[in-house]
Structure formats: C-alpha cells, structure tokens
Amino acid sequence: MMRVSLQGLVMARPHLSHFGIFVHDIDLIERFYTGVFGLVATDRGVGKTFRNQLVFLTGDPRQHHQLVLSGGRAPDSPSTVMQLSFMVDTLDELRATRDKALTAGAIALIGLNHGNAWSIYFNDPEGNKVEVYLDTPFHVPQPCGEPLNLEQDDADLLAETRALVETRPGFMPRADYIAELARTLD
C-alpha cells in the first residue's frame, strides 16, 4: 500500500526480503544451510562491487535468494549476527529441523516458549545464532521466554502455552492482534 504524507511525498514501507552474512568457510556454511533448511544455491561467484566469494540461497521459487553467504569474514572475528530466523508450519517440522541441525553440527541449542511462538535457537558451525519458530494461536507482549519442551505432544504444549499467557496483560488471540496491527499499519 502506498501512503501520501501531508507534504505530498510518498511514504514507503519496504518489506524485508533477504539477508546476507559474512562467513569463514563458505562451503561448510553452504552445506549447513542447504542440508538443514533445504535451501538451494541459485548463483555463486565473486562480486564486482563486493569483491568476495558469494553464494545465493533460496527456499522459495519466487525469490532468487533469501540468504547470501559472503566469504571474507576475518579469521578470528566472532559472529555479529543476533539471529537469523526461519519459520516452519508445524511442531513436527520444528522437531525435525532441530534434529537435522544437531546432526549437521549445530551447537548450544535451546528451546523457548514465547507464548506467541515456539522457538528453538542454536549456533551454526561458525557461531551465527539461528532461530527456527512456529507461531502459536496467541499473542502476548514480548519479551516472554519460558523453557520449551518439544518432547510433549502437541495438545499438551498448546495447553501449557495457553496457561502461560492467558492471564498476562495484553494477551489476546493471534487473529485479534493481527487485525489490530493491520489497523495501526494502515
């Protein structure tokens, strides 16, 4: 949607499309993200402007790339990534992604119940923090982060989450929150 300000200037609200990270070992990290997330490489090469080795990855045929891996991270430099977040559709997919990530070399895995989402966090093989999450049917103001036990069955986890959030200030069904936010963004 395009909005016009009082001065007649167009007010733009770009949407987030993709992200890129600097890596030490581009082949290792490409194998990790293609293996764990099923991303595919759409292109690769050395950039003309950014003179680094680049690999473009996507999991969506409508987007040439969702993640760009760039060589050139200094040998002893730590990751500066706060988190790279990926969304799944079901708890079974969240559990399966957890298992694939651990098998592929992810470390420091934790699970958090945010009330509005069930999330797992881990570090990829180069220490970049990755989140994989699934929205719940609830909204609760953030931050909220209680331990998440993915060994529970889905019904028990849903009941536990409802009990966690339903008495907190600002709790509402997710659909109501989306409608309210849509009015704010309009």
**104-115 residue pLDDT tens:** 999 999 999 999
pLDDT, residue 6, reads 59
Same structural domain, 93 and 180: yes
Same structural domain, 44 and 134: no
pLDDT, residue 15, reads 78
Question: Per the structure block, which two tokens stand in for 6?
Answer: 């009082």
CA distance 9 to 25: 45
For residue 64, being part of any structural domain is answered with yes
Q: Which residues of the chain have pLDDT under 70?
A: 1-8, 11
For residue 3, being part of any structural domain is answered with no
**CB of 44 closer than 8 Å to CB of 55:** yes
pLDDT, residue 47, reads 86
pLDDT, residue 13, reads 75
**CB of 119 closer than 8 Å to CB of 157:** no
Q: Do strands 107-113 and 117-123 pair parallel, antiparallel, or not at all (unpaired)?
A: antiparallel
Same structural domain, 96 and 41: no
Domain holding 123, by residue range, is: 80-186
Same structural domain, 94 and 178: yes
pLDDT, residue 17, reads 86
For residue 12, being part of any structural domain is answered with no
CA distance 35 to 121: 17
For residue 69, being part of any structural domain is answered with yes
- Output the pTM of the full model: 0.89
Same structural domain, 54 and 99: no
In the chain, how many domains are there? 2
Sign of CA pseudo-dihedral 87, 16, 81, 44? positive
